[in-house]
Every structure is written in structure tokens, then in C-alpha cells.
Chains A and B, each alone.
Chain A
Amino acid sequence: MKNFLVIFITTFFLMEIHNTHASVNNLEAENFVKEITNEGLTEIINSNVSQKEKDERFAKLFNQALDLKYIGQFVLGRYWRTASPKQKEEFINIYRQLNVQTWSKRFDEFKGKEFIFEGTSPSNSANQIFVNSKVPMDEGKPATVIWRVKQTGDKYKIVDIIIENVSLAITARSEYTSFIKNSPTGIDGLINNLKQKTQQN
């Protein structure tokens, strides 16, 4: 009876773990990232349109592909809980704006390059998966780019991009929480600083 119980409980937990990972559709998640990168390369970087049009297209694609509300909550860390609704809204908006501006410029560096996709890897976080890719460089080894994708229903969103083992979400979280910790102006100071950054860019 005791052995039966142990087997039953173990099987139950194994099924639960399996279900957690199986809930994300590997193929669809990979195709989602492929479509996004293809659209970015063909419709933005390599297209023959004005820079203004390129920036607008990039902002649209960026907002469609990334769940910035989700990422924004993560990067504020424990300070998210203490922030007022107004601060939360202001932070997410300015964080979105800064990211669009920064990545619009960085994305241009992919001109003439391609993403080679190499399947997916499971994540320990529920409903999330990693899509693995490489970008051949002009010299040296190809750069490793890993996309963390979250599935909600039949919708997919990118929640982190890991370039050469450096997670953009973790880097931003480290930067923002450190700023708030060391600044007497706290979250408001961070928001104002980010606003200044967007005006300088």
C-alpha cells in the first residue's frame, strides 16, 4: 500500500511537471519568433523606406512582439509592489518608449545578417520557453541570441532576450533596483531619469 502510494504521488508530480512544459507549444513559439525576426529584417532593416517610416514600423512590431507590461513589472523588482498606480503606469510607458528608441537603433546593426534558429529549450517558469538562435558575425564565432517566450492561451509574447548569456531583463532589473536603492528620489527619480534619457536619444 505504501509503495503504491509513493508510485502514485511520484507519477502525479511527474505528470504535473510534464504538463507545465508541454503547455507551451514549441513549434508555434519558434515560428512566432521566426516571423517577428523575418518581418523585422525584411519590412524594416532591408526595406527602402524613410527612417521615420522605419521607426514607426519598428515601434509597432516591438509592441506587438514584446510584453513590456510584464517585463516592466519584473525589472522594477520588489519596488513594483510599493509603487503607486500612477508611478506604475508612468514607468511602463517611459520604459516602453526608451526600449523602442534604443532597439530601433540597435536593430540596424543586423543589416545583412540572418538569424539561424536551433529549436527550443524548456524553462522552469510556467508557460515559458526558450527559442534558441545564432547570428553569424563578420568575424569570429556566431553570436548566441535566445528568446524567452511566454504563452497565454494561443498568444505568444517575448519576455526576455538573452544575448551571449546576458539577459536584458536581469540587466535592467539590476540597474533600476540599484538606482532606486541609491537614490533619495526613489521611483520618481528613476522615472524622471528615464524621461531625460528618452529626450537625449
Chain B
Amino acid sequence: MLKYITLLTFSLIVFIPNSQASENNDWLESYNRSMFEFNYQLDKYAFKPLAKGYRAITTPDMRYRVDSFIDNIREPLTVVNHTLQGNIKETFVSLGRFLINSTLGLGGMFDVASGWGLKKNLTGFDDTLAHYCVPDGPFIVVPILGPFTPRSLASYTADAFVSPMYWLPRNDKNYADKISFSYAAIVAIHARERGLDLLDDIERGSVDYYSTIRSAYIQNRQKLNNYCSHQNQNNTPSYDFDFDVDEEFEFE
């Protein structure tokens, strides 16, 4: 399954070389809206209740430990990507963090390394591809997974392959898939729990939930695209758009 997603996303990147996610260029809108609705219903009846249940049976401190554990699992991926981005100092910081937190931090549940001055600075393939100016591609809603761009989907897949939770259990074929899928489920439910309040709040105030999520997602990614060294020559931030209105309208 992962191989097919990788093939599909890399194909999209290759065939849409100069396209950037843009609200005015949502040529997949019809498909995206249908898939968004499908995901919304799936979330409403499956993921959201699971996330609420997870919140009900755990304390904030327990969730904080889960968060630290997941972040620690991401450290090897961070090491690889800091290296690919040519950031040698951060490579060693991440490596040190992983070794310290995996042992003294009880598998990453406690962030001992931060107390020793090794601050968390997670990165992934998406940052690396952005660093080398790989185009983002159009906004696309992926079944079950949600909003992506071809680049972010390709990166998400590559991140999953590099994760220790994918390659460590490979030695034991009886448990490999069970461990990998269980971990993926924990990550998904934990992430959904973190977004519960914010997404509920956005949905309550929104008249077109799809457009709101699309706009916020695309704008947030512009920050990542600024990593591209060529784009940095133009220092205008994405939020500095032309904000002039007529102001002819007066009433009290």
C-alpha cells in the first residue's frame, strides 16, 4: 500500500513540476470536496469518538508522555533530514537527543536531553524537499488521511519508511505489521485528540469548512516553502498581500 502511495505521489510531483498549492488554482476542487465530505463523515463517526475516548481515559500528563515518545521515535528521521539539509550541528544534537532520551528518558517518555541543552528541533522529508525547492503541487484531499499536497504526501510516506517503528519490527514477520499498524493508530488518535478543540472551534464559526481548512493549510505551507533558498531572494512574506480597500462605505 505504501509503495503505491509513494509511486502515485512522486508521479504527481514529476507531472506537475511548476504547480504550487493555491486557493485560486484548486482544479481538483470537485474531487477534493467529495473526499473531504467522506473524510468528515469518517472522522465524525470513527476518529473523533476514538479521540474523545482517548482523552477520557488518559490524563494530560499521560498524553504528554505519549507525545514525547512519538517525538523521540521521529528523532532518527530528524537526524537523516538535518544531514540532507546540510545542518551538521543539528544532526548531532538530534542524535544525542535520541540516544539520551531512549535510555535515560525511558524510551523517550521523558525529555532528559532538553534539560541538558539539547533542544528539540524536529524535521522531516517535507522540510528537506522544501529546502531544495521541490514544488509543492496542488492541494489534494487524500482518503482517510486528509489534506495534503503531492510533496507533503510523498514526504509523509518517506517519513513512515524511515521511522524505527517501520523497520525495527521487520525482523519478526509475525509481529511486524501488528506493531507498525498499532503505532500508526496511536499516532493518528493522539494527533486527532490534540486537534479536537481547535477543529471544533473552526467548524463552529465556519460557513464553508472545506474552504477554511484549505486556506489555512495552504497558508501554513507557505512558511515551509520559504525555506527554499531561491524564494528567499524575494523576502516578501506570504501574508504581506495587497490589503487596500475602497473605504468609501460609511455607516454607523
Residues of A within 8 A of B (CB): 69-70, 73-74, 80, 85, 88-89, 92, 98, 102, 105-106, 121, 123-126, 128, 130, 139-140, 146, 148, 159-160, 162, 164-167, 169-171, 174-176, 178-179, 182, 190, 193-194, 197, 200-201
Q: Is the interface of A mostly helix, strand, loop or mixed?
A: helix
CB of B159 within 8 Å of the partner chain? no
With A165-B238, A179-B207, A179-B208 as given contacts, are A74 and B243 in contact (CB-CB < 8 Å)? yes
With A73-B249, A106-B201, A165-B223 as given contacts, are A193 and B216 in contact (CB-CB < 8 Å)? no
Inter-chain contact A139/B67, CB cutoff 8 Å: yes
Task: Please give me the 7 A-B residue pairs with the lowest Cβ-Cβ distance, nearest first.
Answer: A174-B215, A178-B211, A165-B223, A73-B245, A179-B208, A171-B215, A162-B239
Inter-chain contact A166/B207, CB cutoff 8 Å: no
Residues of B within 8 A of A (CB): 23, 64, 67, 120, 201, 204-208, 210-212, 214-216, 219-220, 222-223, 236-247, 249, 251
Inter-chain contact A169/B243, CB cutoff 8 Å: yes
Closest to A103 in B: B205
Inter-chain contact B215/A70, CB cutoff 8 Å: no
Contact residues in A for B23 (Cβ distance below 8 Å): 174
Closest to B242 in A: A125
A-B contact count (CB 8 A): 101
Contact residues in A for B246 (Cβ distance below 8 Å): 73, 80
Task: Determine how close the nearest CB of chain B comes to the CB of A60; give it in whole angstroms.
Answer: 16
Task: Determine how close the nearest CB of chain A comes to the CB of B147; give it in whole angstroms.
Answer: 13
Task: Determine how close the nearest CB of chain A comes to the CB of B78; give it in whole angstroms.
Answer: 14
Tell me which of B67, B210, B219, B223 contacts A171 (CB under 8 A): B219
With A89-B251, A171-B219 as given contacts, are A139 and B64 in contact (CB-CB < 8 Å)? yes
Contact residues in B for A148 (Cβ distance below 8 Å): 239, 243
Closest to B224 in A: A165
Task: Determine how close the nearest CB of chain B comes to the CB of A97; give it in whole angstroms.
Answer: 12
Q: List 13 other contacts, CB 8 Å, given A89-B251, A174-B211.
A: A70-B245, A102-B204, A130-B240, A140-B120, A148-B243, A165-B223, A171-B219, A174-B214, A174-B215, A175-B215, A178-B208, A178-B211, A201-B204
Closest to B212 in A: A175
Closest to B222 in A: A165
List 29 A–B pairs whose Cβ atoms lie within 8 Å, in order of A's numbering: A69-B249, A74-B243, A80-B245, A85-B251, A89-B251, A102-B204, A105-B201, A124-B236, A125-B240, A125-B242, A125-B243, A126-B244, A130-B240, A146-B239, A148-B243, A159-B243, A165-B223, A165-B239, A166-B219, A166-B220, A167-B219, A170-B215, A171-B215, A174-B212, A174-B215, A175-B208, A175-B211, A175-B215, A200-B204
Tell me which of A74, A92, A98, A190 contacts B205 (CB under 8 A): A98
Inter-chain contact B249/A171, CB cutoff 8 Å: no
Inter-chain contact B249/A88, CB cutoff 8 Å: yes
Inter-chain contact B249/A193, CB cutoff 8 Å: no
Tell me which of A102, A126, A170 contacts B219 (CB under 8 A): A170
Closest to B210 in A: A178
Task: Determine how close the nearest CB of chain B comes to the CB of A95; give it in whole angstroms.
Answer: 11
Give Cα A85 to B249, complex, Å. Answer: 8
Tell me which of B205, B220, B238 contacts A201 (CB under 8 A): B205
Tell me which of B64, B220, B243 contacts A128 (CB under 8 A): B243
Of listed B120, B204, B241, residue having the most chain A CB within 10 A = B241
Give Cα A92 to B250, complex, Å. Answer: 11
Inter-chain contact B207/A197, CB cutoff 8 Å: yes
Task: Determine how close the nearest CB of chain A comes to the CB of B120; give it in whole angstroms.
Answer: 7
Inter-chain contact B207/A194, CB cutoff 8 Å: yes
Tell me which of B208, B243, B247 contacts A160 (CB under 8 A): B243
